[in-house]
Amino acid sequence: MNEIAPARIKTTYREAVRAAIRDALTADPKAFLMGEDVGHYGGCYAVSKGLLAEFGPERIRDTPLSESAFVGAGIGAALNGMRPIVEVMTVNFSLLALDQILNNAATLLHMSGGQFNVPLVIRMATGAGRQLAAQHSHSLEGWYAHIPGLKVLAPATIEDARGMLLGALKDPNPVLIFEHVMLYNMEGEIAADAGAVETGKAAIRRPGRDVTLITYGGSLAKAMAAAETLAKERIEAEVIDLRTLRPLDTATIIGSVARTRRAVVVDEGWKTGSLAAEVTATIMEQAFWELDAPVARVCSAEVPIPYPRHLEQAALPQPESIAAAARATLGR
């Protein structure tokens, strides 16, 4: 519609998150970033590199190794007028802060009968693929999506990496953002003035009529690759990027499945009790009569992620396993 094409810039997922943090801190004097090694080190995944020099140690706040206390402090600061962005270095360490997230952040608004909301954003890296082995490769965003009171986001694209953080900062509720470790180096172009994006809606990243591949975050590229493969076999897969894991955009899911009549849910969590189980159950409840085949799940194997590359990759969803599951729904 716009006659003048908006300026576009080359960037990475990592830079997009950094740009969003910079925008947020520039726009709102109450916003600040807090977490382990976000300052002097520049962030475990280099997301916040340079921001300490720009904003100073009050607003790019290095914390001790105290996940429970600094997440709790983020909640308290949010209660008392600030706009904290707390970085938990990775989801693996967030277990140490889970009590604060579940029993305080998610619960305070309710327990106080609506008096005290917690406008807090928590960012964490998630996922496997870097051969970090059993204690450093969890994908636990599905757990967080279980908790009423939270919003859970999983940006899979550069636009979303930039825009979802800004969107989250407009939300008066605690919002968790999961950034998949394999995405940080992803390159691409976005509008120079890219800003907040809508959260809460899933996106159809590729339209198709034969089967719906439903995924998010680090698995999106794998699903897209699977769709590519399937296209060569004349199977047109529709790919849904959930984007928001809580609340789920069931309308988009059901709308697509009602058209394609087949679905594969892809999720890097362990299969048993995965987010994919929830999506599958939702389809069961809302689109059972539309289905021409059982919904399939492609998740991680039931094993703590092993260190060697061949075993790690074998444990994770792959384009081949996704494509195979899609074919199976078509009886091929």
Partner 1 sequence: MTDPAIKPHLTREHVAELLRQMVRIRRFEEKCVELYQREKIRGFLHVYIGEEAIAVGIMQALAPADTVIATYREHGHAIARGVPMTTLMAEMYGKQEGCSRGRGGSMHVFDAKTRFYGGNAIVGGGLPLAVGTALADAMQKRPSVTACFFGEGAAAEGEFHESMNLAALWKLPVLFVCENNLYAMGTALALSESETDIHHKAESYRMPAEVVDGMDVVAVEAAARKAVVAIRAGAGPHFVECRTYRFRGHSMFDSELYRDKAEVERWKPHGPIERFGAWLRQNDILHEAAFQAIETEVAAEVEAAVAFAEAGTWEPVADLTKHVTLEPES
Ligand X SMILES: Cc1ncc(C[n+]2csc(CCOP(=O)(O)OP(=O)(O)O)c2C)c(N)n1
The catalytic residues are 67, 136
Closest CA to 133 of 305, 330, 316, 326: 305
Number of residues that bind ligand X (CB under 6 A): 5
* Three-state DSSP class for residue 214: strand
Q: Interface with ligand X includes 96 (CB under 6 A)?
A: yes
Q: Evaluate whether 69 touches 77 at the Cβ level (below 8 Å).
A: no
The two structure tokens encoding residue 35: 């977490």
**Interaction residues for ligand X, span 222-251 (CB under 6 A):** none
Q: Which residues lie near a second copy (CB under 8 A)?
A: 68, 92-93, 95-96, 98-99, 102-103, 106-107, 110-111, 133-135, 138, 142-143, 145-149, 246-248, 269-270, 272-278, 280-281, 283-285, 288-289, 291, 293-297, 302-304, 306
Place of tokens 């916040």: 48
Q: CB under 5 to 8 A by kind: which of a second copy, partner 1, ligand X, none does 293 bind?
A: a second copy
**Least distance in angstroms from the C-beta of 92 to ligand X:** 7
104 vs 212 by CB, closer to partner 1: 104
**Least distance in angstroms from the C-beta of 143 to a second copy:** 6
User: 8 pairs with which residues across the strands?
Assistant: 191
188 vs 200 by CB, closer to a second copy: 200
**Interaction residues for ligand X, span 173-232 (CB under 6 A):** none
Closest CA to 159 of 119, 203, 215: 203
**CA separation for the pair 117, 100 (Å, rounded):** 14
Q: CB under 5 to 8 A by kind: which of ligand X, partner 1, a second copy, none does 289 bind?
A: a second copy
Q: Interface with partner 1 includes 318 (CB under 8 A)?
A: no
Among 13, 45, 93, 184, binds ligand X (CB under 6 A): 93
- Name the residue type at position 223: A
| Alpha-carbon distances of 155 from 32, 136, 299, 302, rounded to whole Å | 21, 20, 19, 25
Closest CA to 141 of 270, 311, 227: 270
Neighbours of 242 (CB within 10 A): 28
Neighbours of 228 (CB within 10 A): 14
77 vs 106 by CB, closer to a second copy: 106
Site string for partner 1, 9-48 (x = CB under 8 A): ---------------------x-x---xx-xxxx-x-x--
Q: Interface with ligand X includes 65 (CB under 6 A)?
A: yes
**Least distance in angstroms from the C-beta of 316 to ligand X:** 21
* Three-state DSSP class for residue 11: strand
**Interaction residues for partner 1, span 88-117 (CB under 8 A):** 92-93, 96, 99-100, 103-104, 108-117
Q: Evaluate whether 312 touches 128 at the Cβ level (below 8 Å).
A: yes
User: 32 pairs with which residues across the strands?
Assistant: 84
Chain residues binding ligand X by CB under 6 A are 36, 65, 89, 93, 96
